Amino acid sequence: MSETCPLPRSTRSDHAAPARARGRGCARRRGFSLLEVGIGLVLIGLMVGVAVPTLDAVTGARLKETVNVMGGAIRDTYARTALLGRSTRLVLDMEQQAWWVEESEGTARVKPVKLLADREGKVALDGKDERLADVADDTTDQKELAKVQILTGPAFKAVEGEWGQPQKLPSDVRFKSVWIEHLDARVARGVAALYFYPGGHTEEALITLTDGAPDETAPNAANIVTLEVAGLTGAVFQTNGEPRVPTLEEDD
């Protein structure tokens, strides 16, 4: 029920007061007009439109910061390998969404065959070479032990310092896919590693990160950035999106 404006009593002392004064007192109690409500809704809409891109920018900033840090780690590891003369590798754990750097006491060899993912699409780190399938784990045969040493390569351990510790990705950033030269195809699960060799080269690689949801419910809304690693120089380039894996023809 709307409130009405009471009329003042008529007396001889106030009969000369202007009627418009009483009207102003009543106007202060009236509700909003349709025009005022419409203007308010427009202003709210503008404020929401400004706030949403700002939130997206914050999320994109975390992805960009992660990509920058990882790119710096790749360049630093490339230089470290050449300086110390020991093989190193950047471990990429797509299950725990983390990465870190390891080094070996010896020299790792370029893998002669492409590494395949298992039936679940996972790739394993330091998996047993297929050519050792007929060699028992507890063998004492000297020829078999020599074969194991050649095909297995040196053992790796985490480097000292911050980058030897698992670097967890931010909660809204994850590995979308990884392709490294010794992998048969792009993978999104398991644990992979980018190897660096003392001779002054590394492997070609595509490391793709995103701030999108794992179920890809809104792929168009996600930011996707790929770190492209050049094998001969160790240079790192950032590319928006997920580039296709290079072919042998392109390498030639």
**Domain boundaries in the chain?**
41-251
Is residue 116 very low, low, confident or very high in pLDDT (cuts 50, 70, 90)?
A: confident
What per-residue confidence (pLDDT) applies to 100? 97
Confidence at 185, pLDDT banded by 50, 70, 90: very high
| Residue 110 DSSP label | P
Give the residue among 171, 190, 168, 198 at the shortest CA–CA distance from 70. 168
The overall average pLDDT reported for the chain is 78
User: In the numeric block, which tokens belong to residue 130?
Assistant: 């297929």
Query: What is the predicted pLDDT for the residue at 164?
Result: 95
Residue 156: HSE in the Cβ half-sphere, 13 Å Cα cutoff: 24
User: Rounded to an integer, what distance in angstroms lies between the CA atom of residue 112 and that of residue 227?
Assistant: 24
Name which of 1-5, 107-111, 150-154, 155-159 the model is least confident about: 1-5
Indicate the length of the chain as a whole number: 252
User: What is the average per-residue pLDDT within 53-82?
Assistant: 83
pLDDT band at 200 (very low <50, low <70, confident <90, very high): confident
Check residue 115 and give its pLDDT.
76
pLDDT at 211 exceeding the cut of 70: yes
Average pLDDT over residues 171-190: 94
pLDDT over 90 (residue 27): no
89: exposed, middle or buried (C-beta count within 10 Å: 0-12, 13-18, 19+)? buried
167 Cβ contact partners less than 8 Å away, ≥ 6 residues apart: 69, 73, 98, 99, 100
| Position 32 pLDDT exceeds 70 | no
pLDDT(160) > 70: yes
| Residue 131 pLDDT greater than 80, yes or no | no
Tell whether the model's pLDDT for residue 186 goes beyond 60: yes
Is pLDDT of 54 > 50? no
Top-confidence range, 72-86, 112-126, 141-155: 72-86
Provide the CB-side half-sphere exposure for 190 (13 A, CA).
21
Q: How confident is the model at residue 55 (pLDDT cuts 50, 70, 90)?
A: very low
- The mean per-residue pLDDT over the stretch 199-225 comes to 81
Q: In the prediction, which pLDDT does 151 show?
A: 67
- Which class does domain 41-251 fall in? alpha beta
220-231 pLDDT per residue, tens: 558 999 999 999
What pLDDT is attached to residue 134? 74
pLDDT given for residue 9 in this prediction: 52
Residue 175 has pLDDT above 50, yes or no: yes
Instruction: State how far the Cα of 79 lies from the Cα of 198, in Å rounded to an integer.
Output: 9
pLDDT value of position 212: 83
